[in-house]
């Protein structure tokens, strides 16, 4: 009997070591993404996914997390329209809904990810109800003060602006802006300002667009530095507004 206890203890230690190593690899992938090294991040995420499928099983929570991470890397590489990206996101969603239930915060994150991919790959008809339902569930389940919900307000507003539904987009963006300012989150404030700036731009309110886009650029430059992707994007947005 003692040998069995020793074996079980050894297995438990190995599992713990494996979990710790996986967490470290997830952190390293996040650091690569933060450094804009998306190709390396995607390769590392794929390798981690393959390892976790062997260690934990193809329908485990860790595999769902790895799938979600791979998809995030692929979207940074602008591969939203590739069938594999949607397939991986839908697989992660299916695992999370089965294991955790459709109202769990991680399931909501995966559902939002699927909706964003559908939208960005051009299937707005399928994306819109998914995103709107997820936003409603996020407010009800997570609460209106939660960062995830408030970020999704801006995200959905941006998608609605791209789709030309300015009437629906404006109150969402204004609410996101108010929440970001109240919570003192300057990068979220910059995102909401950008959405409102483009809304003004597309409705030919160029004078209204410029101060909003200028403020978004200033916030991003202060928080991120001048040589980061989002700061450059804000500078380009501002240039468009000024030259209109």
Residue 12 and residue 199: Cα distance in Å, rounded? 55
Q: Indicate the pTM of the whole model.
A: 0.85
pLDDT by residue, tens only, the chain of 244 residues:
554 343 333 334 334 557 889 999 999 999 999 888 999 999 999 999 999 999 999 999 999 999 999 999 999 999 999 999 999 999 999 999 999 999 999 999 999 999 999 999 999 999 999 999 999 999 999 999 999 999 999 999 999 999 999 999 999 999 999 999 999 999 999 999 999 999 999 999 999 999 999 999 999 999 988 877 778 888 888 777 777 6
Residue 33 and residue 23: Cα distance in Å, rounded? 15
In a domain, 46, yes or no: yes
In a domain, 69, yes or no: yes
Concatenating the DSSP letter of every residue in 205-227 gives -HHHHHHHHHHHHHHHHHHH-TT
Concatenating the DSSP letter of every residue in 147-173 gives HHHHHHHHHHHHHHHHHT-HHHHHHHH
Q: What pLDDT score was predicted for residue 5?
A: 41
Q: What pLDDT score was predicted for residue 48?
A: 96
In a domain, 177, yes or no: no
CATH number where 99 lies: 1.25.40.10
In a domain, 41, yes or no: yes
Integer-rounded Cα radius of gyration of the chain:
21
Q: What pLDDT score was predicted for residue 14?
A: 38
Q: What pLDDT score was predicted for residue 11?
A: 36
CA-nearest of 97, 231, 141 to 113 is 97
Structural domain range at position 35? 14-114
Cβ atoms within 10 Å of 231's Cβ, excluding its own? 21
Q: Domain count of the chain?
A: 1
Q: What pLDDT score was predicted for residue 18?
A: 76
In a domain, 195, yes or no: no
In a domain, 90, yes or no: yes
CB-based contacts of 147, cutoff 8 Å, min separation 6: 183, 185, 188
Cβ burial of 83 (10 Å; 0-12, 13-18, 19+) is exposed
What's the DSSP call for residue 244?
A: -
Cβ atoms within 10 Å of 84's Cβ, excluding its own? 11
Concatenating the DSSP letter of every residue in 73-121 gives HHHHTT-TTSHHHHHHHHHHHHHHHHHH-TTSHHHHHHHHHHHHHHHHT
In a domain, 170, yes or no: no
What's the DSSP call for residue 60?
A: S
Phi, then psi, of 108 in degrees rounded to 5: -65, -40
CA-nearest of 105, 109, 33 to 74 is 33
In a domain, 50, yes or no: yes
Q: What pLDDT score was predicted for residue 241?
A: 73
Cβ atoms of 195 and 154 closer than 8 Å: yes
């Amino acid at each position: 009997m003692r040998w069995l206890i020793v074996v079980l203890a050894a297995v438990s230690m190995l599992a713990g070591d494996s979990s710790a190593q996986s967490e470290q690899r997830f952190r390293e992938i996040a650091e690569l993404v933060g450094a804009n090294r998306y190709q390396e991040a995607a390769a590392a995420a794929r390798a981690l996914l393959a390892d976790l499928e062997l260690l934990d099983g193809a329908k485990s929570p860790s595999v769902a997390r790895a799938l979600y991470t791979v998809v995030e890397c692929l979207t940074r590489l602008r591969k939203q329209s590739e069938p594999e990206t949607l397939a991986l996101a839908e697989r992660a969603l299916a695992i999370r809904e089965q294991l955790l239930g459709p109202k769990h915060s991680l399931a909501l994150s995966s559902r939002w990810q699927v909706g964003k991919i559908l939208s960005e790959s051009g299937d707005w008809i399928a994306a819109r109800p998914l995103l709107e339902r997820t936003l409603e569930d996020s407010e009800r389940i997570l609460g209106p003060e939660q960062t995830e919900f408030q970020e999704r307000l801006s995200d959905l507003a941006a998608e609605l602006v791209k789709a030309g539904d300015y009437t629906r987009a404006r109150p969402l963006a204004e609410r996101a802006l108010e929440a970001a300012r109240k919570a003192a989150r300057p990068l979220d404030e910059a995102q909401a300002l950008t959405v409102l700036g483009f809304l003004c731009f597309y409705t030919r309110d160029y004078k209204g667009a410029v101060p909003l886009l200028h403020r978004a650029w200033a916030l991003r430059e202060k928080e991120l530095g001048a040589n980061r992707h989002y700061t450059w994007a804000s500078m380009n947005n501002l240039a468009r507004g000024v030259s209109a």
